[in-house]
Amino acid sequence: MKLDSPINIDYVRSDFPILKRKINGNPLVFFDSGASAQTPQVVIDAVSTFYSNYYSNVHRGIHELSQEATNRFEAVRGKVQQFIKAQHEHEIIFTSGTTDAINLVAKSYGRAFINPGDVVLISEMEHHANIVSWQIMLEDRGAELQVFPITDAGEIDFEAYKLLLNDNVKLVALSHISNVLGTINPVKKIISEAHAHNIPVLLDGAQAVPHMKVDVQDLDVDFYTFSGHKLFATTGTGVLYGKEEYLNKMPPIMGGGDMIDKVSFEETTFNDLPHKFEAGTPNIAGFIGLGAAIDYVNNIGIENIERYEEELIDYMLEKLNTVNGLRLIGTAEHRASVFSFVIEGLHALDIGTLLNEYGIAVRTGHHCAQPLLARFDVTSTARASLAFYNTKEEIDVFIEKLNQVKEILC
């Protein structure tokens, strides 16, 4: 017997003002949450209230506005800690996004732990942020990037991965969920195998945190990164979680502001965690919004979101299989609500352009994953990525209009 829906979709959709918009006279169907998720009214209100009622810089003032801003800003760190089940609040580093967080680890961990001849190991399905950041650091350190392969289904080739683990590997970095394939990687198993060789692991969790429960202690992951703008908050916010043992050994990579302890022209000493990695004025309003977004997700329940999205995934896969000539890129058994596809004889850009005429927003291009697309012998795809505010009715509209696009272009 089918269970009732785990969330009240009408109530949820009413929380997102942009979903009332019309595009070219058609109701907006927003299938681009993998790039940036939409923002509920409570987040918009939280940011507006900050600017209206207690706008001030943080950590640097004794006046009431600064104290209030600081207290609310730092309270968000505790919310993030609880949301991803970190052991310590000071293991939560605020960044401008996932890319910034990965670069922080690459530069700082690289200085502390990477030497000539060492290896960083990544997967074949990585976002450019989890490729280029390491390439830049490794070239500077005289070290090497190695890549473990994936299968035709878009799943990690675990046996090939194990064969690459050796004493030269100083870090494994991979996505928790692929932003192109939707594959949910068996990260706990991957981390366990790396730890058996005393190798730490970084996970790019940008696509995972909005869709599923993440417990960094249960995973035993050493570094975990994600972005606020994919978690229904604002752009310009992100998180790096790092185990205290590593963060304490890693040097700061930016100077100024709250990352200092004492400064003289002869010597500077650095602040304690987490502030030694947070130079300059942060995106205070953005993090206030992130805190509101986490509260919002918690109120709905991440388990409820996951269950509802599983229904959407099954329905989308069923409907995509009815479109003649459509090839889904990535057919992993364990997947999230990201669907990249090509249609025989059509260019992805043309598909996306015409879908926009019907009010349907999808992403087209290489999705910052050119090596991955090359693995599947394509240069671009159309990508529909869903969130818990989407509906089966929207999927029906999408499939109907996709078939009309085919008729127009063929």
**What span, in angstroms and rounded, lies between the C-alpha atoms of 230 and 372?**
21
Which residues are within 8 A (CB) of 144 and not within 5 positions of it... i.e. 6 or more apart?
117, 118, 119, 120, 138
- With b for 16 or more beta-carbon neighbours within 10 A and e for fewer, the 5-44 pattern comes to ebbebeebeebbeebeeeeeeeebbbbbbbebbbbbeebb
Q: How far is CA 342 from CA 112, 165, 320, 353, 365, in A?
A: 43, 35, 11, 14, 11
368 part of the active site: yes
| Catalytic one of 260, 368, 397, 409 | 368
Q: How far is CA 167 from CA 134, 193, 199, in A?
A: 18, 13, 8
For 63, what's the count of Cα atoms within 13 Å in the CB-facing half-sphere?
6
Task: Specify the DSSP class assigned to residue 177.
Answer: B
**What span, in angstroms and rounded, lies between the C-alpha atoms of 4 and 8?**
10
* Residue 282 preceded by cis peptide, ω within 30: no
**What span, in angstroms and rounded, lies between the C-alpha atoms of 359 and 345?**
23
Catalytic residues: 368
